[in-house]
Structure 1
């Protein structure tokens, strides 16, 4: 089977665990670098018999789950504003523990949630070999870095179904805004009142999920979400902003990232309470840089950060 003939489809399940039926005309996903982290992850038990010779044991597959990961471009909500972000992209953020609020003619806003979390069905057709994951829930991290366009890296955990043969359907790929490079023209990163000379930003949703299979239940349950941001930036002077004092005093600062200039293709990240927890230094092209890890703390709940597409 040809790995370059792969179609990925995703759709939110109306009831978590009840398979959705993705439509290749509306639910095709432009996944980048798709891989099966475990196409069939077994839970096994075994008996090792007292048989008078070596090697006497039986193994029993009790349950199976699946894990996969892939990348999606980070782009704005399209135009007219708030009405043109493709359904499969919305589905992925929702399956990764986010509420998606679409306001026509205005924006798409994602925020993390702690209850009423959704799940999705994922179909992967590899040249006529079909694998399905249901009850999919996952994690996402966003990466903005020098010399690249921004990426959203997703990982999914879901229930297993036996693969089948199915002809590759004709799919309609979604129309996306073109991702824009992370550079001075397109991007601004602010910590407190200081605009940073920032080389890299990684925002980790920190979603944790667990697969269960026992009498009365087979599901993927969310267990926690501890968001972090990891920044690499040029060390500012003490007068500009003392990052070491922030670490010493448990200082909490607002963190923001805005990316993109044109309406319909702008992305804004905001965290009201970012606390510095680790700090290291290194040299880059003769400049002293720091890598700083921030815990993104909720204030009223489900507000560790907001992602706004305009």
Structure 2
């Protein structure tokens, strides 16, 4: 008696897909069914460097539009235009709100602008050298920098790896490896016996090495330690000077790509809230430990992670690399969902 749950007053029907729930004349709690909406657009190029958008979004009107344009600015126009000022890879997103604010949908696309101002929205990918649409893909030939390997090819993780060892006589898997016995001919006739060094030079026995040790192993071309932690691959040179290779500074870098899938018609569709991260880090030793911080409490140590956000951003996405030789670098970017 004297309760407040009267016909026409608010209630909760327990259905998250309805809104404006009220008690009807029969004391049934009934809500208004939400209607689906879908953000959708295409991009057309009318002149070099210029695009116009064609908004194909659907939903119960009125529909509000918020465009995130390639320079980060916003527009509420239905079909905005945009002019690029330089070549690069850009993102463009459309968020719609329909059905009195009860339905929201987002669509994003990636645009590639070349040096002549021509624009493409083909799926963006980088090869193992970080080149847009480059040829250095997993399974293609590469050079791992090791003269003792052959059949070098890019792996699925974009590591250049040789298939096997080539010995000092060029024989795949052969026994003539550095540190093993060798023979060499002397000009004018005769044969000497020695040891293959790290550069596959047959060093005769009985010589004094770079540390003055008769018959010692410290010959030109063999490893040494120059005492400088900022260098790698230290070797004795022809003058018996221990010299290493200086490492370039390391630099963390990455590119954020909207994840997408292909429907039954062969069209690409974005995967909501999911990102693909392409690692563009460079310099240093070339061998890194990775630490990703997605800005939502989740981290990863994968070199090329995929991440799905639980809600709207923006999020501060950061990558820190450590090359193991005293070089640590961090790169951050803001991600809008």
TM-score by length of 1: 0.19
Instruction: Compare relative contact order (CA 8 Å, sep 6+) and give the higher one, 1 or 2.
Output: 1
Structure with a larger share of its residues in strand:
1
TM-score by length of 2: 0.17
